[in-house]
Amino acid sequence: MSLHSVVIVGAGQAGFQVAASLRQAGFAGAVTLIGDEGEVPYQRPPLTKAYLLGKIGVDALRYRKREFFVENRIELLQDAAAAIDRTNHRVILNSGSAVAYDHLVLAVGAHNRSLPVPGIELDGTFGLRTLRDADALAVRLKQASTVTVIGAGFIGLEFAAVAAARGMAVHVIELGSRVMARAVSAETSELFRVAHTAWGVTIDFKQGLVCIEGDQGKVTAIRTTDQRRLPTDLVVFGVGVLPNVTLATEAGLDIENGIRVDTDLLTSDPSITAIGDCASFPSRHSQDRVRLESVQNAVDQARCVAARLSGKSAPYAAVPWFWTDQQDLMLQIAGLQDGHDSTVALGSAASRKMSVLCFRRNHLVAVESVNRPADHMAARKLLTRAPTLTPAQASADDFDLKTFESATR
């Protein structure tokens, strides 16, 4: 069936990319991109990095200027999708109007998880997901001297690195026993813990937040589960995100840790696709169905869908990769390390140039590279095929990942 109209809900990384890639692929039908942030689509990663440090302005965040959308006949609707009428193939908007689709793409992303602790409503508590969040936080950072970060995941640590670079006293509270534990090996966690400590960041492990205290409506301190009171000007939450599934749930689509899709990224309704942070999919790079929160995943899934809708269908199989920048450390991760049972480190943590190769049952499943971009590029190539590398081979004194990758091509 030839498609006349594609409607995309969510004008973030994935939604923007589907629209742009459809036009690049020569799709001639109508493309409508519905976004509820009131912004020309922009990228989020710099919000905790260069943008928050004031090194780049808002224009540098935008994927394209407004004219791009006009020139490429992408109708950018600043509205929120309120419901999906699957019977009549229509999206109902908050404003009350409706948009008809032949195919619908849900690229609705995720929202910050919040903690139901007393004091959460006080002035001086922040999440960090949107441009609006970053702008509000940037203003308050200028007046603050002490910040507390709840959660030592990527967002929390990126923010902590920025705040420390600005000379602030930074305290991180983490429930687990190491940093970025959900996403990296123990070796990489330790390198980052040591670096943050050297930058002046205090990290408290196995500590929860009990409440936030305030005076005249403003944050003054937090209390931790070990009964301490830590005075602070700001509290920044980095305790993870939850996929936006309300629209899909109410439309009766299957949900499983996000909107459930198959290897073609189709939902339980073959006229609806879901991609990016909101979608869980079967991945050949993991033992389980996964939902990934990364630029690569959003972009590659968007490209895969645009190709399918333009007549070139192929299952989604891209190697997952991710990066985070924290002061002078650039961590790049290729593959998924979940369930790994052995590691081999190349380089050294002391030199802050290290790659950790993660193996599951003697198969290479992920490579975490700190300031070793050549290893990262080699790993991405290697993981596209079933790599034969064993821990014993990688442990040899003269082992080099790039050389191994080109020799086994």
Ligand X SMILES: Cc1cc2nc3c(=O)[nH]c(=O)nc-3n(C[C@H](O)[C@H](O)[C@H](O)COP(=O)(O)OP(=O)(O)OC[C@H]3O[C@@H](n4cnc5c(N)ncnc54)[C@H](O)[C@@H]3O)c2cc1C
**Which positions touch ligand X (CB under 6 A)?**
9-15, 34-37, 44-45, 47-48, 80-81, 107-109, 128-129, 155, 244, 247, 276-278, 293-296, 298, 322-324
CA distance 265 to 257: 15
Q: Which residue matches tokens 């290893």?
A: 375
- Closest CB to ligand X among residues 129, 353: 129
CB of 212 to ligand X, least distance (A): 21
Q: What share of the chain is helix, strand, coil (3-state, %, to 5)?
A: 25, 30, 45
CA 281 to chain centre: 16
Provide, rounded to whole angstroms, the least separation between the CB of residue 395 and ligand X: 30
Which of 26, 38 has the CB closer to ligand X? Answer: 38
CB of 217 to ligand X, least distance (A): 26
**4 secondary structure, DSSP code:** S
Nearer to ligand X, 58 or 210 (CB): 58
In this complex, which beta carbon is closest to ligand X, that of residue 322 or of residue 404?
322
Q: How far is the CB of 63 from ligand X (least distance, A)?
A: 11
Q: Which is nearer to ligand X, 34 or 305 (CB)?
A: 34
Smallest gap from Cβ 329 to ligand X, in A, equals 12
Q: Which residue is nearest to ligand X (CB)?
A: 12
Considering only CA atoms, give the Rg of the chain. Answer: 22
CA–CA dist 9, 11 (Å, integer)? 7
Q: Which residues pair with 111 in a beta bridge?
A: 242
Determine the straight-line distance between the first and last CA of the chain, rounded to whole angstroms. Answer: 39
Residue nearer to ligand X on the CB measure, 22 or 389: 22
Is the CB of residue 45 less than 8 Å from the CB of residue 155?
Answer: no
Shortest distance in whole angstroms from residue 146 CB to ligand X: 21
d(CA 98, CA 96): 7
- The amino acid present at 113, given as its one-letter code, is R
CB closer to ligand X, 130 vs 232: 130
Using an 8 Å Cβ cutoff, are 180 and 187 in contact?
A: no
Tell me the C-alpha distance between 129 and 135, whole Å.
11
Q: How far is the CB of 293 from ligand X (least distance, A)?
A: 4
